[in-house]
C-alpha cells in the first residue's frame, strides 16, 4: 500500500502566535492519525524557481487514506480554526509510490 504525505509550504506567517497555537493542537492530532514528522519547522530550505524559504513541513502516513482521514479529523479541524488567518500556506495531501 502506498504511503500518504502531507506537504505544507508556508508562503507567509502573519501571526506567529496563531501558528504556535496551531502547532500545539496539530501535533497531537497528526500523531493520533499515525503521522510522522519528516521535517521540522527549523529544517533548512534551499528554494529554487519561484520557491521561498518559509517553513516547509513533510509528514508521512502509512497510507493515503490515513493522511486524508487525519486531515478530516475533528482534532485537526480544531487546529485549523486556531490557525485561521495566521499564515498563508500551500497544503497538499499526496500519495506516495
Q: Which domains does the chain have, with CATH numbers?
A: 4-95 (3.30.70.100)
pLDDT at 74: 98
- pLDDT tens track for 9-56: 999 999 999 999 999 999 999 999 999 999 988 899 898 998 888 889
Look up the pTM and report it: 0.91
pLDDT of residue 54: 86
Q: pLDDT per residue over 65-76, tens digit each?
A: 999 999 999 999
Contacts of 35 (CB under 8 A, 6+ apart): 6, 59, 60, 61, 66, 67, 70
Amino acid at each position: 500500500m502506498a504511503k500518504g504525505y502531507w506537504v505544507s509550504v508556508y508562503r507567509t506567517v502573519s501571526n506567529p502566535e496563531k501558528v504556535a497555537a496551531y502547532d500545539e493542537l496539530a501535533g497531537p492530532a497528526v500523531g493520533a492519525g499515525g503521522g510522522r514528522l519528516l521535517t521540522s519547522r527549523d529544517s533548512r530550505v534551499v528554494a529554487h524557481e519561484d520557491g521561498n524559504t518559509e517553513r516547509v513541513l513533510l509528514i508521512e502516513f502509512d497510507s493515503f487514506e490515513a493522511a486524508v482521514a487525519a486531515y478530516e479529523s475533528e482534532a485537526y479541524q480544531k487546529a485549523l480554526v486556531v490557525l485561521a488567518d495566521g499564515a498563508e500556506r500551500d497544503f497538499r495531501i499526496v500519495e506516495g509510490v
